Amino acid sequence: MMTAKVRLAEGATKTLDAMELENLKAGLRGALLMPGDDGYDQARTVWNAMIDRHPALVVRCAGVNDIRQAVNFARTHGLLLAVKGGGHNIAGNAVCDGGMLIDLSRMRSVQIDPAQRVAHVEPGATLGDFDTEAQAFGLATPVGVNSTTGIAGLTLGGGFGWFSRKQGMTIDNLLAVDVVTADGNFVRASAKENSDLFWALRGGSGNFGIVTRFEFQLHPLGPNVLSGLVVYSQKEAASALKKYREYARQLGEETTVWTVLRKAPPLPFLPSNVHGTDIIAFALFHAGDPKAGEKAIEPVRHFGTPLGEHVGVQPYCNWQKALDPLLTPGARNYWKSHNFTDLSDGLIDVTIKYAGNVPSPHSEIFFGMIGGATMRPAPDSAAYSHRNTLFVCNVHGRWETPAEDQKGIEWARGFYRESAAYATGGVYVNFLTDDESDRIKAAYGPNYDKLTAIKRKYDPQNLFRTNQNISPA
């Protein structure tokens, strides 16, 4: 093996000699990859094509031993370190330039204990892996809406999806984790063991160690659920959003309806003359009896004059993949996000203004409705604090080429600036982009100081810094 020039956490570089690299490799069950090796480019590639980083070393882990070896090596040599689960993080926090990448994406086992209704999940599993195994027993826990997202990063930031109004955030269903900490120790964290670490991991992102196994509470769901889309012209968006606002205020917890404003994709249930025009779509999901669901979602059909609808009873796993075609990896993405407790008239005006002026046919403004069970825990019950949020808004700027970057970024920033007055001031940590270090405190909210103290205890040297970082200083 050759030598490797590596970047250190504090910015300098140093050269690792062949013996040091051979020793690392010899201790692994997985692979040590360097630029040019088979699998290197795959390991360093993440969902957002705007991120193009080249680590000097990739440890492609096969198990907990590999993770510990890699953590010990990185700490001993002072390396800049990144950790990759599903690689979906918009800021590109799964990968670094010049340092070491710990790649967990091959550790994808999901084991279900149907009697206890508990899932044991490895950190490279995707939401699709998780849902498929849990649904084999008619079980689920709330996770996100795109099946290729990693369970690890999603959970560590909080996690929400269609099932959240009924069963809470993903972290509200986390029972325990196994963690490799910065000192290379392997610890279990739960409400009873290392409870400070468990508190911090539920919303504190990747700051506190590498989770090697997640243990989730599961709940009966489906396997068939009422779900689908109702689509209107954006010309009706103002009145539709006002009706939606009233509807959201009295909606039961089994139902959720999200809304998105964008150009119509070529969906087969829409007339072809609607394709490519400005629409507002309502995506609905009912977590209970489909008959009761029909009643609950009926008002959505009367927010205006529908251009088309595709609503029916379908397997939950299919609905969990319904948005995948719009969210494929490899495009350039720039996001801006706010949390809202309501949709005020001013916010509706700004939304319509920007939705009518998207920088590309793939860009969109969406409001994910949470509330319900996500609001019940106290804001200081876990690191995730945004318990007052009813709508998580995300402006998805998305396009194909670098030439479109400036226009798309300015559009997303414009919406963000003009809608800020109506927002809570908090933001979901998992929706922060690369250039938003000034919003990290807003993402951790009133829990920031406690997180700093726990960071000092578990990672005083800030080994885990390629994330929305909580400085131990």
Ligand X SMILES: Cc1cc2nc3c(=O)[nH]c(=O)nc-3n(C[C@H](O)[C@H](O)[C@H](O)COP(=O)(O)OP(=O)(O)OC[C@H]3O[C@@H](n4cnc5c(N)ncnc54)[C@H](O)[C@@H]3O)c2cc1C
The position carrying tokens 């991120």 is 51
C-beta closer to ligand X: residue 352 or 383 = 383
Tell me the closest approach of the beta carbon of residue 85 to ligand X, in angstroms: 3
Instruction: Report how far apart, in Å, the C-alpha atoms of 259 and of each of 243, 279, 367, 368, 381 are.
Output: 12, 10, 5, 7, 29
C-beta closer to ligand X: residue 93 or 363 = 93
* Dist. CA 90–CA 103, nearest whole Å: 17
C-beta closer to ligand X: residue 103 or 278 = 103
C-beta closer to ligand X: residue 58 or 82 = 82
C-beta closer to ligand X: residue 151 or 352 = 151
Q: Which amino acid is at 61?
A: C
Residue 155, SS3 per DSSP: helix
Name the phi and psi angles at 188, rounded to 5.
-105, 140
Tell me the closest approach of the beta carbon of residue 89 to ligand X, in angstroms: 3
Tell me the closest approach of the beta carbon of residue 295 to ligand X, in angstroms: 26
Tell me the closest approach of the beta carbon of residue 389 to ligand X, in angstroms: 12
Tell me the closest approach of the beta carbon of residue 167 to ligand X, in angstroms: 14
Q: What do you get for the CA distance between the two ends of the chain, in Å?
A: 38
Q: Which long-range contacts (CB under 8 A, 24 or more apart) does 406-415 make?
A: 407/359, 408/332, 408/334, 408/359, 408/360, 408/363, 409/334, 410/359, 411/354, 411/357, 411/358, 411/359, 411/363, 412/334, 412/335, 412/336, 412/363, 413/336, 414/354, 415/336, 415/350, 415/351, 415/354, 415/365
- 35-56 as b/e, with b when 16 or more CB fall inside 10 Å? eeeeebeebbbbbbbbbebebb
Helix (H) or strand (E) holding 419: helix 405-419
Nearest Cα to Cα of residue 132 among 147, 115, 117, 118: 147
C-beta closer to ligand X: residue 4 or 210 = 210
Q: Which amino acid is at 16?
A: L
Tell me the closest approach of the beta carbon of residue 472 to ligand X, in angstroms: 16
C-beta closer to ligand X: residue 334 or 352 = 334
Tell me the closest approach of the beta carbon of residue 159 to ligand X, in angstroms: 4
* Dist. CA 191–CA 183, nearest whole Å: 22
Tell me the closest approach of the beta carbon of residue 435 to ligand X, in angstroms: 16
Cβ–Cβ < 8 Å for 154, 128: no
Tell me the closest approach of the beta carbon of residue 19 to ligand X, in angstroms: 29
Cβ–Cβ < 8 Å for 279, 364: no
Tell me the closest approach of the beta carbon of residue 298 to ligand X, in angstroms: 25
Residue ranges in 160-236 assigned as alpha helix (H): 164-167, 195-201
* Dist. CA 168–CA 163, nearest whole Å: 7
C-beta closer to ligand X: residue 296 or 327 = 327
C-beta closer to ligand X: residue 93 or 256 = 93
Kindly give, in sequence order, each residue whose CB lies less than 8 Å from that of residue 394, ignoring residues fewer than 6 positions away: 335, 336, 337, 365, 366, 368, 431
Tell me the closest approach of the beta carbon of residue 442 to ligand X, in angstroms: 17
C-beta closer to ligand X: residue 176 or 352 = 176
Task: Give strand ranges (E) for 264-403.
Answer: 278-286, 308-315, 332-340, 364-369, 391-399
C-beta closer to ligand X: residue 154 or 280 = 154
Instruction: Report how far apart, in Å, the C-alpha atoms of 230 and of each of 52, 260, 281, 466 are.
Output: 37, 11, 6, 40
Residue ranges in 141-235 assigned as alpha helix (H): 151-157, 164-167, 195-201
Interface residues with ligand X (CB under 6 A) are 46-47, 82-90, 93-94, 104, 123, 144-146, 149-150, 152-154, 156-157, 159-161, 205-206, 210-211, 327, 430, 466-467
Tell me the closest approach of the beta carbon of residue 455 to ligand X, in angstroms: 13
State the DSSP code for 264: P
Nearest Cα to Cα of residue 100 among 64, 76, 119: 76
C-beta closer to ligand X: residue 85 or 304 = 85
